[in-house]
């Protein structure tokens, strides 16, 4: 019996994107189903009744939910490219930074571009603090994972790709090249990776979508 792998996602979502990167790194064939979040499919609601969110990975009919959980599942299920390191301490460190990016970085990045006006200034400051923390964590490594892209790099698509797109779409400057040289180099290396490039949504389309969704006439979220 062949393997069936289906990914429910939305183009433009960094959470969906990180799953595509992981599947491509592992060389897994999969079917992609794009969800309209304003009109969720019965399949999505069946597979994720608790959160009703994307991404959802369905492997031979069984759903796996929450992007960080899906990434670990992919790593444990398919051999080949290692997403997490083998050493338990390095794994704990990778998980820590993945969580940090999800809980501290992305919300601040989003708020600084698309939040309520009174929240934006504070969010911009927060972004500056968290990006500096990541800059320091990168140290002399090429990627957060070391020589190669790993869990943290995949999760950091929100910085490698989304950040630049949001900056342009919202006309906000968040990435200071003088203060964050390592992070800027990392972004270049990140975007040069062929598996990552293949997984990214078209930039211009995403910018247009974001401007339309969040900025047209003070649209509410």
Partner 1 sequence: MADEVILLDFWLSMYGMRVKIALAEKGIEYDYKQEDLSNKSPLLLEANPIHKKIPVLIHNGKPVCESLIIVQYIDEVWNDKSPLLPSDPYQRAHARFWADFVDKKVSVVSRKLWTTKGEELEAGKNEFFETFKILEGELGDKPYFGGETFGFVDLSLVTFYSWFHAYEVFGNINIEAECPKIIAWAKRCLQKETVAKSLADQKKVYEALGQLRKIRGYE
Q: Which is nearer to partner 1, 69 or 219 (CB)?
A: 69
Using a 10 angstrom Cβ sphere, with 0-12 exposed, 13-18 middle and 19 or more buried, the burial of residue 29 is exposed
Element at 57 (helix H, strand E): strand 56-59
Q: Which is nearer to partner 1, 47 or 214 (CB)?
A: 47
Residue 65 tokens, joined: 């939910």
Q: Which of 6, 11, 40, 66 binds partner 1 (CB under 8 A)?
A: 66
Q: Which of 21, 23, 44, 72 binds partner 1 (CB under 8 A)?
A: 72
Using a 10 angstrom Cβ sphere, with 0-12 exposed, 13-18 middle and 19 or more buried, the burial of residue 202 is exposed
Q: Which of residues 112-171 bind partner 1 (CB under 8 A)?
A: 133
Chain centroid to CA 116: 23
Using a 10 angstrom Cβ sphere, with 0-12 exposed, 13-18 middle and 19 or more buried, the burial of residue 47 is buried
Q: Which is nearer to partner 1, 32 or 73 (CB)?
A: 73
In the complex, least distance from residue 152 CB atom to partner 1, rounded to whole angstroms? 13
Q: Which of 69, 197, 198, 213 binds partner 1 (CB under 8 A)?
A: 69
| Contact flag: residue 79 with partner 1 (CB under 8 A) | no
Residues of the shown chain interacting with partner 1 in the complex, contacts defined by CB under 8 A: 50, 59, 62, 64-66, 68-70, 72-73, 76-77, 88-89, 91-92, 95-96, 99-100, 133
């Amino acid at each position: 019996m062949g393997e069936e792998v289906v990914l429910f996602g939305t183009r433009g979502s960094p959470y969906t994107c990180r799953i595509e990167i992981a599947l491509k790194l592992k060389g897994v064939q999969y079917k992609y189903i794009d969800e309209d979040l304003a009109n969720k499919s019965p399949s999505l609601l069946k597979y994720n009744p608790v959160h009703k969110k994307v991404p959802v990975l369905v492997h031979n009919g069984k759903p796996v939910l929450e992007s960080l959980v899906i990434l670990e599942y992919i790593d444990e299920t398919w051999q080949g490219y290692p997403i997490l390191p083998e050493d338990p301490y390095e794994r704990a460190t990778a998980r820590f930074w993945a969580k940090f990016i999800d809980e501290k970085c992305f919300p601040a990045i989003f708020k600084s571009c698309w939040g309520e006006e009174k929240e934006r200034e504070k969010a911009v400051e927060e972004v500056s603090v968290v990006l500096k923390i990541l800059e320091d964590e990168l140290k002399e490594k090429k990627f957060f994972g070391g020589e190669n892209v790993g869990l943290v790099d995949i999760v950091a698509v929100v910085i490698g790709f989304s950040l630049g797109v949001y900056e342009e779409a919202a006309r906000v400057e968040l990435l200071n090249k003088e203060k964050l040289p390592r992070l800027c180099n990392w972004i270049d290396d990140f975007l040069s990776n062929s598996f990552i490039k293949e997984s990214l949504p078209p930039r211009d389309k995403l910018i247009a979508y974001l401007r339309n969704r969040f900025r047209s006439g003070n649209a509410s979220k």
